[in-house]
Amino acid sequence: MKILVAEDDQLMLKMLEFRLKKDGHEVIVTRDGREAVAKLLEFKPDLVITDIMMPYISGLEVVGAVKKQYPTGTPVIILSGMGQENVVLEAFQLGADDYITKPFSPNELSVRVRRFDATAVK
Amino acid sequence: MLLPLNNQKSFEAINHLNQLVPDDYRFNITLFFTIKLLAANTILKIFSVARDHYQLVVMISVAFLMCGLLTYMLFYLYLRRKYEKTHEKWRLISDLLIRKAVFYEDEELEDEVVIPVTKRATKLLHNKRFRKLLTAEIMSAKKNITGTSSDNLKQLYKQLHLEIYALKNLKSRHWHIKAKAIQELTIMEMSEFQSDIYVHANAKNELVRMEAQTALVQFNGFEGLSFLDIVTYPISDWQQIKLLQQLAHVPQIDVSIETWLASSNSSVVVFTLKLARNYHRFELYDDILPCLDHSDPKVRLEAINFFCEIFTNETSDEFISRFLKEILKNRVAMVKAMQNVGTERDILFLLDLLDDKNHEIKLCAARALAKIGENGLTSLFDYANTIGYPLTEIVMQIKGELAA
């Protein structure tokens, strides 16, 4: 599964990348929303994981861009902080498919990603 | 280093020197000696051109100053570049260490988890800057991760004995170092050091105090509030909100809070009243009644707020008997509370308030009358008809509110 990850916290980004690669996914990492939107066309991901608070372009705008680019496919999982319920609701209105609240367990991430993996053995 | 002033020979010397040093430093060395050479040449030219003695001294001084400044700048840039490279290397080492800890769960299932730490990392721990960087990274990861990975990060922190440095910082003379150390121990869940933190719950510095209080509640939930026994400094409104927020995420247990109602620290009493209201401590009704006569108006206001939610048929009498002695803000709060606690016995009192000078009191009294029931509403309309403006306007508004 090709996964595009957008996260501005470098350490978090590396951990996400490491975990997803360990789970056998092809991962491309981006450090802000602008880079994520730019890589959407080039990379054609099967799944996008994006943080909400990012420089230049927020995660919400990334959700909007993904849904505009791939109206039928490409699910989006958003990473939100505690107390960002309103933003999560806004993301769902824009078409986000799932969300994970920080702090989260890497195992939880793997399980949630697997739900969107059509090639995974059920 | 002295270089021959003949340009050809000088550049040969620089080239020779460059061959002796690693690639990374070649650029800096070439630049440094070239500038030095140019400066020396300039000084020579100055000697030959300038005839006036005074001018000569000034020009030489300027040339030396420029030379010194350039040397300093280059040296600074060299050091900065060197530090950035080292920092980047350290970051990679700490990232690797953290990643190992976070994903360790899959590899071993031992009772005592031991995260593998390289010899290099262990050696680097003696370096204060590296330690600071590693601690910051572990804390940042700990804030974003839960479950086994989070436990592993805690284990890594302990395994590297980083808590020892935090405890050392806790004894620092500087308040910001102390506050940071408490925050670090809280994030890393080092509850075994809470006795060291407890003493700071009544620290002179507000931020140290706040961090210590937050830590104690984080470790022990409601039982952590025991610091209220010793707090003599005021607990700010912001800190009270933060503590209540923290408590909202822990299982509720009924701790004995009555003693805090008698605290000589008014902010402790206010916070206790907020706790009693938030957690519906009906049994404290009689203990809280004396707070309506407290010397601090903030305590009295919080007591009014408590009785607004937890009341009996006699509560309005308690308000009425104290109404005239109260300050305006608390009077308004009392009349607002009458919307909940008021009964038909209070209609006359509320009708009286319709003549008050303060419009807010008038409006609240009218609302309270409307809420009491049919009798209250009829009394309000009749009275408004006899008085006219502004009561007629207030009644119009209340009619609108009732219809909505």
Please state which of the ranges A87-91, B353-357, B392-396 shows the lowest mean pLDDT.
B392-396
Q: What is the pTM of this model?
A: 0.76
In A, residues 5-24, which contact B (CB 8 Å cutoff)? 9, 11-12, 14-15, 18-19, 22
Please state which of the ranges A86-90, B184-188, B233-237, B324-328 shows the lowest mean pLDDT.
A86-90
CA B52 to chain centre: 65
**CB pair distance less than 8 Å for B150 and A103:** yes
The answer to whether A102 contacts chain B (CB < 8 Å) is yes
Q: How far apart are CA B55 and CA B49, in angstroms?
A: 10
Residue with tokens 């978090």: A12
Res A122: pLDDT: 47
**CB pair distance less than 8 Å for A107 and B148:** yes
Q: How far apart are CA B215 and CA B355, in angstroms?
A: 51
Contacts of A19 in chain B (CB under 8 A): 103
Contacts of A109 in chain B (CB under 8 A): none
pLDDT tens digits, B265-310: 999 999 999 999 999 999 999 999 999 999 999 999 999 999 999 9
B186's tokens: 């809280």
Task: Note every long-range contact of B30-38, with CB atoms under 8 Å and residues 24 or more positions apart, other chains counting.
Answer: B31/B74, B32/B71, B32/B74, B33/B1, B33/B3, B35/B67, B35/B70, B35/B71, B35/B74, B36/B3, B36/B67, B36/B71, B37/B3, B37/B5, B37/B7, B37/B10
In B, residues 338-397, which contact A (CB 8 Å cutoff)? none
